[in-house]
Amino acid sequence: MNEVLTVGLGLLGGLAIFLYGMNAMSSNLQEVAGDRMRAILGAVTRNPVMGVLAGALATAVLQSSSATTVMTIGFVSAGLMRLPQAIPIIMGANIGTTITAQIIAFKLSDYVLAFVFAGFVVMSLAKEERTRAIGRAVFGFGLLFLGIDTMGDAMKPLAASPVFTQLIGEVAHIPVLGMVVGTLMTLIVQSSSATIAVLQNFASQPGPDGVTSVIGLEGAIPILLGDNLGTTITALLAAVGQSRDAKRVALSHCLFNLSGCLLFVGLVGPFSAFVAMIPPTGPELEVIARQIANAHTCFNVAMTLIWLPLVSLMVRLVMAILPDDPRRPRVRRWGSAPGASGSDAAPA
């Protein structure tokens, strides 16, 4: 019982440190670069490809797809951006958020406390608020990895437990169940970056043979897909009380990730084989965190390439699911042509 309590407290404590670090890093990066990212989003959205690039850039800089998504929903709700312009940004945000998993895949354990110390010194001694915000972001970055290390230490006893490894083995052989597990994890934690970090850390633990991963890449991918689906709840919550078009943006985010999950859950075997061919190669325990990050990136890039030429179809689909409210007058938005779709600015 004491061992279970120790593992549970280690996981929860490490997760709390990770989330605090992630939020500190994201919020302070938004403070430093948020206005610039808003300007970029507002300026380059007339071309769908540029919209994807803008969404990816904003999310990579802000380290939060939720921030990019919420900003986009706010633009649409305010009538500054139309639905066909917003959807590519959401696609780009899905690509940009994979940067977090790529960063986590680097082994920075030896430098964690250096980041914490450097960030603390800067945010404590700097006189300018902008510099202090940068220091807080670096401090949060260090805490993020400190949380990952704490969770990793807590997971080691789990990886050696026959009961737990048998349970994981069942999940690994039933992709749909793995997807449900990933979705529920992200719904609870409200951060796909956190649940993917947990997945990367857990997959790096050795199984009973001491050589191969406790779950393996093929078992990790369905959970990764579920993590992507679970993160759409943030956009759905942000759209509550917003305009009908804002709700459509959130719905398009959900449909984008759901369609990807349904497509890839039946292709787990070939997809894992493809990802395994991407460098680096080597012992599974040493490269699986990077492979999971690569799978995350490949999934979102592939779904963007599939959906980008079909933005108009996505627009028609979300408008069919959320049609205009006939009880409310249609209001022409700034910059939209007469009779353009999705022009009801009144909250639904």
Sign of CA dihedral 41, 45, 48, 49: negative
Q: Mind listing the pLDDT tens digit for each residue in 92-143?
A: 988 988 887 787 777 766 777 888 899 899 988 888 888 888 898 889 888 8
Q: How far apart are CA 157 and CA 210, in angstroms?
A: 13
Confidence of residue 158 (pLDDT cuts 50, 70, 90): low
DSSP string spanning 36-89? HHHHHHHHSTTSHHHHHHHHHHHHHHHT-HHHHHHHHHHHHHTTSS-HHHHHHH
Residue 78 lies in a domain: yes
- What DSSP state is assigned to residue 110? G
Residue 337 lies in a domain: no
From 248, 258, 255, select the one nearest 319 (Cα to Cα).
Answer: 248
What mean pLDDT value characterizes the chain?
78
pTM above 0.95, yes or no: no
Residue 348 lies in a domain: no
**Strand, helix or coil for residue 331:** coil
- Residue 206's beta-bridge partner residues? 213
Q: Mind listing the pLDDT tens digit for each residue in 252-262?
A: 888 999 999 99
φ, ψ of residue 283 to 5 degrees: the values are -55, 140
The reported pLDDT for the residue numbered 40 is: 65
The reported pLDDT for the residue numbered 271 is: 93
Residue 338 lies in a domain: no
Residue 268 lies in a domain: yes
Q: What count of other Cβ atoms lies within 10 Å of the Cβ of residue 273?
A: 12
From 9, 291, 22, 18, select the one nearest 155 (Cα to Cα).
Answer: 9
Domain count of the fold of the chain: 1
Q: Mind listing the pLDDT tens digit for each residue in 180-237?
A: 888 887 777 767 777 788 788 888 878 777 778 888 888 889 989 988 888 787 677 7
Residue 110 lies in a domain: yes
Q: What count of other Cβ atoms lies within 10 Å of the Cβ of residue 337?
A: 10
- Is 83 a residue whose pLDDT tops 80? yes
Which domain range does residue 27 map to? 2-321
Q: What is the mean pLDDT of residues 293-303?
A: 93
Q: Please return the burial class of 83, using the count of CB atoms within 10 Å of its CB with bins 0-12, 13-18 and 19+.
A: buried
Residue 290 lies in a domain: yes
Residue 146 lies in a domain: yes
